[in-house]
């Protein structure tokens, strides 16, 4: 295959327009009436929004190559390896657990609602562990490294994260009876919405999306999730239906008086591919090396990021408690201040 053909195929595949082009070529648009047809019509939405986002940033001279460079490099690195392992992992989990399913479901609207609620729970479990178990944080932190929000962030993932997420999510869903066609349909909606919530402020400035902010998980909620502000850290783990964040107490609105600071709390270089991709592994390795005794060394793998064998913890919970205590103390201090003389 000539290099030009390879490049052409890669671009068509990235844009997700292969099926639409085929319809255009044959003139047969009947496929749009089927589920597959609808899926192929929706696939190009995110890549095109990304192009619009980059286009607008260029026109308004706000385009900064560093906002897109690292997610793009990661996308290229993940393109084949991650997708291949992920599909294999999903197929393996379905084969392994389908016979143990609690009951059988079919492709109907009520099972779709049931399936989606289970999927969100499974997503919550994977995502919560990704933030609370240091080893899993090493896999997930690549996604949190970018220090600005735009649609390219949706492609920034460590290559082993998707397989690990899919093993957890597929296993829980299949065991709970969500049948594979239903699961694939839910995965498609989740993937599309999960990409959209990374839309940058230059396309949708206010990510609250009106009344939807009260009902579903909006870009505003996910921006909060990507923040390193103490109040925002480790909140909003869901993807579309944020019921489980409300059930487990991890739900947090974006506050108008608290601007989001994107990124992770570790000092790092967000423009260095190696730091973004392997920085947390290196930090974990350094902590393990200096920890005394095998017990402490093993604890570093499973305890939350910021946990220390010395007892001087800097976990999200400790940092948030200190912040909230400081916030409570401040108004009290202000009240004891003498009133300013009236001029
Ligand atoms: Zn996360
Ligand atoms: Zn994200």
Cα(239) to ligand 2 centroid in Å equals 9
Cα(242) to ligand 2 centroid in Å equals 14
Cα(225) to ligand 2 centroid in Å equals 7
Question: For 259-314, what is each residue's pLDDT tens digit?
Answer: 999 999 999 988 888 898 899 999 999 999 999 999 999 999 999 999 999 999 99
Average pLDDT over residues 123-131: 97
Question: For 52-96, what is each residue's pLDDT tens digit?
Answer: 766 766 666 666 666 766 777 777 666 667 777 888 888 888 988
Cα(142) to ligand 1 centroid in Å equals 10
The model's pTM: 0.79
Indicate which ligand has the atom closest to the C-alpha of 165: 1
Indicate which ligand has the atom closest to the C-alpha of 146: 2
Unique residue bearing structure tokens 């402020």? 201
Cα(147) to ligand 2 centroid in Å equals 12
Question: For 228-265, what is each residue's pLDDT tens digit?
Answer: 999 999 999 999 999 999 999 999 999 999 999 999 99
Cα(124) to ligand 1 centroid in Å equals 10
Question: For 6-63, what is each residue's pLDDT tens digit?
Answer: 777 767 676 676 777 777 777 776 666 666 666 666 666 666 666 776 676 666 666 6
- Percent of the chain clearing pLDDT 70 (strictly above): 79
Indicate which ligand has the atom closest to the C-alpha of 197: 2
Q: Is pLDDT of 338 > 60?
A: no
Higher pLDDT, 223 or 103: 223
Q: Is pLDDT of 184 > 50?
A: yes
Whose CA is closest to 266, among 108, 99, 145, 111? 145
The pLDDT score that the predictor gives to residue 120 is 97
Residues 216, 208: Cα–Cα separation, whole Å = 10
Cα(170) to ligand 1 centroid in Å equals 19
pLDDT band at 178 (very low <50, low <70, confident <90, very high): very high
Average pLDDT over residues 324-336: 72
Cα(5) to ligand 1 centroid in Å equals 36
Whose CA is closest to 172, among 240, 127, 122? 122
């Amino acid at each position: 295959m000539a290099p030009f053909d390879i490049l052409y195929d890669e671009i068509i595949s990235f844009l997700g327009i292969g099926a639409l082009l085929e319809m255009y070529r044959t003139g047969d648009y009947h496929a749009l009436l089927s589920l597959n047809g609808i899926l192929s019509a929706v696939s190009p939405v995110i890549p095109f929004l990304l192009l619009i986002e980059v286009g607008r940033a260029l026109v308004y001279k706000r385009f900064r190559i560093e906002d897109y460079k690292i997610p793009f490099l990661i996308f290229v690195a993940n393109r084949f390896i991650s997708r291949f392992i992920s599909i294999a992992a999903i197929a393996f989990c379905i084969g392994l657990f389908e016979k143990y399913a609690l009951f059988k479901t079919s492709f109907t609207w009520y099972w779709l609602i049931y399936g989606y609620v289970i999927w969100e729970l499974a997503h919550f479990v994977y995502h919560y562990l990704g933030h609370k178990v240091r080893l899993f944080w090493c896999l997930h932190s690549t996604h949190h490294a970018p220090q600005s929000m735009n649609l390219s962030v949706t492609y920034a993932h460590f290559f082993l994260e998707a397989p690990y997420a899919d093993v957890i999510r597929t296993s829980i869903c299949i065991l709970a009876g969500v049948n594979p066609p239903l699961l694939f349909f839910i995965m498609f909606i989740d993937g599309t919405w999960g990409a959209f919530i990374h839309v940058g402020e230059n396309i949708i400035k206010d990510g609250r999306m009106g009344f939807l902010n009260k009902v579903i998980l909006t870009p505003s909620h996910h921006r909060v999730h990507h923040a390193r502000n103490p109040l925002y850290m480790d909140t909003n783990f869901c993807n579309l239906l944020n019921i489980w964040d409300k059930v487990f107490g991890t739900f947090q609105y974006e506050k108008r008086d608290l601007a989001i600071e994107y990124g992770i709390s570790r000092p790092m270089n967000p423009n260095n591919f190696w730091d973004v991709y392997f920085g947390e592994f290196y930090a974990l390795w350094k902590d393990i090396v200096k920890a005394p005794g095998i017990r402490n060394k093993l604890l570093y793998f499973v305890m939350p990021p910021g946990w220390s064998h010395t007892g001087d913890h800097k976990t999200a919970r400790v940092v948030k408690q200190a912040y909230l205590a400081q916030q409570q103390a401040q108004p009290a201090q202000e009240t004891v201040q003498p009133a300013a003389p009236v001029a």
